[in-house]
Structures are given as C-alpha cells and as structure tokens.
Amino acid sequence: MPPPNVIGRMRHAPALALLLFTIACAPQEVEPAGVAVVAPDGTIVTDYGGGNAPVARYVRGPDGTAVPADAGPAGMPGAPPGKPGEGQAEAAPAAPRSGRPLSNGSAFAVTANGLAITNAHVVQGCRSIVDGQGRQVRVVASDRRRDLALLDLGRGFQSVVRFRDRAAVELGETVLVFGFPYGQQLATGLNVTNGIVTALSGLGGDASRFQMNAAVQPGNSGGPAVDDAGLLLGVAVGRLNDLVVLRATGSLPQGVNFAIRADQVEGFLAEHGVRPERGTGAAGTGARAVSAAVAPAVFPVLCRG
C-alpha cells in the first residue's frame, strides 16, 4: 500500500493545476518559479514558444473553452494585455538581437509547388525564417486559434504529405510522427517515432486535437502525424511536462502527447484557397515504407529574431 503522502497526492491528481506544454522547440525546458497556480475553474496551460519566458498562459475549461490567464501572486486568472488568439495572450519578451536563433520546429509540404504547414507558434515573432539549408521561408498565413501556419518555400517538392478521404481519427490506430526534435542539437537528420491514438480529444475535451503516445519533443512542433499508410492524421503540437506533473501528482506521465486534427488543417488550407492532395498513401504498409514516402516532404524550420 502506498504511503499516506502518495495517496493524498494521487487523490488530488484530477485537480492538477498546471500542465506545461513544451511546444515550439526550446532546446531546454526551463520552468520559471511561481507559475504553479491553482485554477479551480479549469486547467492552466503555459505555452513556451522557444525561450525561457512563457508566450501565453490561459485557462482551459472542462468544456474546451479558453480564456486568458495571468499567474499573479494570488494565483487567480486575469486578462493581461495582448492580441487574443483562442484565449491566449501574448507576452512581452525582451527584444532579441537581429539574426539570433530563437527557436526551431518542423514543417511538411502539402503541395508540389512548395506550400507547407507548421504550427503558428513556431513562426510567431520571427524576423526571418529559414529551412534546414538556410533558405528563406515566407509565412503566407497564420491562425493562432488553430495554431497553424501556411508557409511558401518558393521551390517545388517531389513528395508531399497527402490527406485521407475520411477525416475521422480512430481510437487505437497507428500513428507515426516525423520531425526534428531539439533541432540539430540532437541530430542533423529526420526523426520518426511511432505509437497509437490514445484519446480522441485534447486538454479539457478539446475536439480539435487528439492524444497519442508517439513521442514528441521540443522541435517536433509542426511535424506531420500520419497513419500506417502515410496519410495525414494531424500536426504535432505539444506534450505534458514530466517534471510539473511529477511534482503535482507524484507520478510521471507516460506518452501524453497531442496533435491538431487533419480536418483543422484542411479547413485552414481551404480558407486560403489551397486544396491538399489525397491518395492511397505509401507504396506499402509499415513504418519503413511510410517513412520512405513521407520523409522527403518534411523539413526543419528555424526562427530568427
């Protein structure tokens, strides 16, 4: 039988106050002091966009709605100034030096003429964006509510990530995530992880997301999550922070990662006149065949200030 202090912490697990999303690509997860505040009416989510200071902090309610929140001394939600974006409030970070690398993420081509998708938080606040070869990338459109951005690389792609005919994500189906975790600090090549769809919604029942146990690290943000035929299931967007959950519950989370559903991506593209390709996927099934088909369409993006 667990000791009493462990039992008490487990009983309070459903009231977990702070879930830290590691999202854009911070090479180190640095957690400032004083952010673990109690939110009796929802879950406080702190987004880190590639630096040590939070980009946004908001309360996600049980119904999936989000409102701006400020972790003040009393720990009560407030509404700090900033541009709204699905209840998020932009922080005021220190002005970066011109050309300084701020963050890195992942992206993938959706059209042969060079249009690609990543997360909005990966390219937010960048003075310039380059791909893994140092070539300039242009942001065509950004949707902070969906956390999606449309990029133009100005060059063609021989391979793109195709969409499924059916938009539904099924519980338990295979998922592979492609991306560049930790940028080039970990490796210079593409990384792929596999798992299954473990839940059909995100935090607070957010129906625009799904949960998976395929590993996601900082730098994976914006990379494609595909099915066992190589067709798009979603876009990797975040994960729970192990240390925060450990301190709050006494237990380490295992494989709690999130992706934006493909139907959200398709709706975003349609609003900007882009029709993604559909197909039967890789010429074969299994991780090796899918990786060979999807890898050429995925590339790293680097945000510079």
Domain borders along the chain are: 4-89
Residue 183 binned pLDDT confidence (cut-offs 50, 70, 90): confident
Residue 182 binned pLDDT confidence (cut-offs 50, 70, 90): confident
Confidence at residue 2, expressed as pLDDT on a 0 to 100 scale: 46
Total-model pTM: 0.70
**pLDDT (tens digit, 9 = 90+) per residue, 152-175?**
999 999 899 999 988 789 999 999
DSSP string, 69-96: ----TT------SS-EETTEE---PPPP
The three-point CA angle 300-304-305 to 5° equals: 160
Confidence at residue 53, expressed as pLDDT on a 0 to 100 scale: 41
- Cβ–Cβ under 8 Å, residues 117 and 149: yes
Cα–Cα nearest to 259, from 133, 188, 136, 169 = 169
**pLDDT (tens digit, 9 = 90+) per residue, 260-274?**
999 999 999 999 999
**pLDDT (tens digit, 9 = 90+) per residue, 23-79?**
433 333 323 333 333 333 334 444 433 343 444 444 545 444 555 554 333 332 333
Confidence at residue 255, expressed as pLDDT on a 0 to 100 scale: 84
